Amino acid sequence: MQPAILPILLFVAASTGLGIVLLSVGWVFGPRRNTAVKEMPYESGMDPIHDARRRFDIRFHIVAIAFLLFDVELLFLYPWAVANRHPEGIAQAVTDKLVDDRMLVFGEVMVFIALLAAGLVYIWRKGVLRWR
């Protein structure tokens, strides 16, 4: 059995290495004549006003929270989706008397999706999806 993590790690290293090689080629051949004007952040030709590190809109925060809720709960659908039709999945569990009935599991998933839907309707009514 091939250790699955090894090729992945090696590929991370390979891609990073490719990036480093590319950038060092640029570092060797590129010019290095830095001036204060070149180091200014670009603001369409004007001298920059204020620092760029400022507070930004709360809307992004709300979107992020909504994402966390939905995406994390979406993850739970995958194991069920695999087990649903896999012969060693729910069917086997029914045969082994681990689960009473296929439809019970199905019903549970439906309840789960209904909860998600209720959440979506709630944030919709609360106006989270209205980008104003």
Measured from the CB of residue 91, what is the shortest distance to other proteins in angstroms?
6
Give whichever of 54 and 108 is closer to other proteins, judged by the CB atom: 54
Q: According to CB under 8 A, which residues from 70 to 99 bind other proteins?
A: 70-71, 74-75, 77-78, 81-87, 89, 91, 94-95
Does 111 participate in binding other proteins (rule CB under 8 A)? no
Q: According to CB under 8 A, which residues from 31 to 50 bind other proteins?
A: 31-34, 36, 38-44, 48
Does 55 participate in binding other proteins (rule CB under 8 A)? no
b/e code 61-71 from CB counts within 10 Å (16+ = b): eeeeeeeeeee
Tell me, rounded to whole angstroms, the distance of Cα 65 from its chain centroid.
Answer: 13
Does 59 participate in binding other proteins (rule CB under 8 A)? yes
111 close to 104: Cβ distance less than 8 angstroms: no
Measured from the CB of residue 109, what is the shortest distance to other proteins in angstroms?
8
What's the rounded Cα separation, in Å, for the pair 48 and 42? 7
Number of H helices, E strands in the chain: 5, 0
